[in-house]
Amino acid sequence: MVFSGLGILLAIQQIFLLKPFGFMLIETAYYYLLLAFYGSLVFIVFPASKTSPKERVPFYDIFLFFLCFGISLYFASAALKIIEKGWEFVAPPWPTALSLILWLLMLEAVRRVAGGVLMTTCFFFSFYPLFAHLMPGFLEGRDFSLLVTARYHAMSVESILGIPMKVVGTLLIGFMIFGVVLQTTGGGKFFINFALALWGHSRGGPAKVAVISSALFGTLSGSVISNVVSTGSMTIPAMKRTGYPAYYAGAVEACASTGGALMPPVMGTAAFIMASFLSIPYWQVCVAAIVPSVLFYLGLFLQTDGYAARVGLQGLDRKELPSISATLKEGWFYLLALFLLIYLLLYLKVEAWAPFYASALLLLLAMTKKETRLSWETFGQLIAGTGKFLAELVAILGAIGLVIGALSVTGVAHSFSRELVAFAGGNVILLLLIGALTSFILGMGMTAAACYIFLAIVLAPALTKSGLNPLAAHLFVLYWGLVSFITPPVALGAITAASIAGANPVKTGFQAMRLGAVIYFIPFFFVFNPALVLQAPLKDIPFPLLTAVSGVFLISGSLEGYLQGLGKLSLPARIWLLTAGMLLAVPEWRTDLIGLGLAGVLIGRRLWQKKKKKMG
């Protein structure tokens, strides 16, 4: 609580440019202090192994805690000297030794937080400068000694203190606070009740509630697994109670929670880092992500509705559901805080300040109601919870910084993207398929942010050099990095949901693939037509948007075997509609006309048969 509170106060001072002691910290000193307050917490919050004692913190963790805190504090005090004397390449023995220890501490921290796969990746690439000259072809780079590499990792602004740590210090810390405040004051329960009041009574209502509530909750948490656990514990039992099979209920929640990490205004860690990589305001990333995320949720919503109609599932009894007026009366201030956040982001464009103002408003209004008022104990939990979230982020992003630093200093990051373009021979589709496969494989063992950062360095520049819109190319990488959450064999989102549903994880994973099939197509649609990420003149946006919505409508109907307005579909009709939907969604007017014609023939024929049947 103390370290978390100090870190929050420090961030407020820096972000709002306050000078309580008459001076401002230089940027690198601020980042070192964040590392001291949150990086050190990893060693007493996250155990070294599953067998570590849970009733107390072992002595070796306490030692690592103080070691990380002390080293980070030393570098913060020497921040100006590091810059003035160029210590990132040539430094005295003492800071050099501390650099080596800090490097190893970051690797241990990421192992505790994110597991062995990400740690191994960071370990290998962080040591890359030592053997870069021995690598073949375009993987060859400039080599450095162990001590020079250690100095560069610890004291340059390209490695541990690189773009990811800057994003934590300037943007992420505020949004993480907002997310924790929202959950602590009961925001998750409000969004579920709000979705229940709107859709719970409709056919297949609980599945629609899962889709809507996960979209609302996920946009603020940005984490697929926490979204599944938070909303799934309520929506999955409700789906099962109304007739959805356990595996289907788990698949719906897994897909809905995965989409939450792509839904503005928060979108999770990767979106903030994307804004920094592209050197654009964060609100532009939010605006670009609106249409693809809506298309994904539209497809999921239509499929759950189609399944319910096809097998005859009903919604929940209205007596069991909260009324919309009572729900809004109890939790209107959650929506007000969310609208304030959006207003500050999109209209005033004060993205660093926005979450702090929204959090302050939410806390203030929550304290006026007895049901949501925080006790001293709950407020302490809020501060401690924020510290845990930020400790996790600092560990992951600091370690990923090691990868960025190593690939940058050796020059391999630039040569890799150049050679990738040459390998593809100017074939953009081949390059995108390579990118999709790479993103998917990396997404199996990494967090979405880690996967995105790695590919933003080595792959996204290659896509951009091929003539693709930079923002669309970066979103393409992000989408495909998240696909692994619902795709076997890993499918962490589906496995988590299956455990709540009591279903077979493999069956749940394959059902999630089918339900979330639109997410595999959407990145290709918007990367070829930037109008779908609103990167086009206003006059060029409506038509591609209309054809994309129509395409998603037809694709969802064909996948579920039911099209709203037409009823159940035979296998040939489903294949016909899938073809029409794909052609409609492709951003080319000739294919749009063919798709429209195919869809028109089938729909016209079915409507004529219905009319003929009624007349007969």
Tens digits of per-residue pLDDT, 543-590?
889 888 998 999 998 988 888 878 888 888 899 888 998 888 876 778
My answer on whether 133 and 15 are in the same domain is yes
Q: Is the pLDDT of residue 595 over 90?
A: no
State the amino acid at position 341 in one-letter form. Answer: L
pLDDT, residue 221, reads 58
My answer on whether 97 and 178 are in the same domain is no
Q: Is the pLDDT of residue 80 over 90?
A: yes
**3-state helix/strand/coil string of 53-96:** CCCCCCHHHHHHHHHHHHHHHHHHHCHHHHHHHCCCCCCCHHHH
Q: Is the pLDDT of residue 41 over 90?
A: yes
My answer on whether 225 and 288 are in the same domain is yes
Give a yes or no: residue 395 inside a domain: no
My answer on whether 42 and 191 are in the same domain is no
State the amino acid at position 155 in one-letter form. Answer: M
Give a yes or no: residue 498 inside a domain: no
Using DSSP's 3-state secondary structure scheme, residue 467 falls into coil
* Alpha carbons within 13 A on the beta-carbon side of 137: 8
Q: Is the pLDDT of residue 202 over 90?
A: no
pLDDT band at 459 (very low <50, low <70, confident <90, very high): confident
pLDDT band at 190 (very low <50, low <70, confident <90, very high): confident
Q: Which of 235, 295, 301, 232 is nearest to 263 (CA)?
A: 295
My answer on whether 138 and 214 are in the same domain is no
Mean pLDDT over the full length of the chain? 87
More reliable by pLDDT, 391 or 616: 391
Taking residues 388-403, report their average pLDDT. Answer: 91
* Percent of the chain's residues with pLDDT above 70: 98
Dihedral (C-alpha) 69, 73, 76, 77: value to the nearest 10 degrees? -170
Helical (H) or strand (E) element with 117? helix 116-126
My answer on whether 180 and 299 are in the same domain is yes
Rounded to whole angstroms, the Cα distance separating 444 from 482 reads 9
Q: Is the pLDDT of residue 222 over 70?
A: no
Number of domains in the chain: 3
Tens digits of per-residue pLDDT, 268-322?
778 888 888 898 988 899 899 999 999 999 999 999 988 888 888 888 888 878 8
Rounded to whole angstroms, the Cα distance separating 171 from 164 reads 10
Give a yes or no: residue 382 inside a domain: no
pLDDT band at 9 (very low <50, low <70, confident <90, very high): very high
Rounded to whole angstroms, the Cα distance separating 485 from 487 reads 6
**Boundary residue ending a domain (100, 134, 164):** 164
Q: Is the pLDDT of residue 414 over 90?
A: no
Rounded to whole angstroms, the Cα distance separating 235 from 209 reads 7
My answer on whether 104 and 232 are in the same domain is no
Give a yes or no: residue 492 inside a domain: no
My answer on whether 187 and 143 are in the same domain is no
Q: 364 CB contacts (<8 Å, ≥6 apart)?
A: none
My answer on whether 8 and 121 are in the same domain is yes
Give a yes or no: residue 191 inside a domain: yes
CB atoms inside a 10 Å sphere around CB 329: 9
**Boundary residue ending a domain (373, 397, 430):** 373
Domain that includes residue 107, residue range: 2-164
Residue for token digits 């740690």? 119
* Residues 155 and 99: beta-carbon distance below 8 Å: yes
My answer on whether 20 and 134 are in the same domain is yes
**3-state helix/strand/coil string of 359-407:** HHHHHHHHCCCCCCCCCHHHHHHHHHHHHHHHHHHHHHHHHHHHHHHHH
Record the tokens describing residue 376, joined without a space: 């001293």
The residue length of the chain stands at: 616
Dihedral (C-alpha) 17, 23, 27, 28: value to the nearest 10 degrees? -150
Alpha helices in 242-281 (DSSP H): 246-260, 269-278
Least confident interval from 161-175, 305-319, 418-432: 418-432
My answer on whether 158 and 178 are in the same domain is no
Give a yes or no: residue 393 inside a domain: no
My answer on whether 117 and 141 are in the same domain is yes
Tens digits of per-residue pLDDT, 500-510?
888 888 899 89
Q: Is the pLDDT of residue 95 over 90?
A: yes
pLDDT band at 219 (very low <50, low <70, confident <90, very high): low
**Boundary residue ending a domain (373, 399, 428):** 373
Give a yes or no: residue 43 inside a domain: yes
Least confident interval from 211-225, 459-473, 483-497, 511-525: 211-225
CB atoms inside a 10 Å sphere around CB 611: 10
Give a yes or no: residue 256 inside a domain: yes
Record the tokens describing residue 528, joined without a space: 């070829």
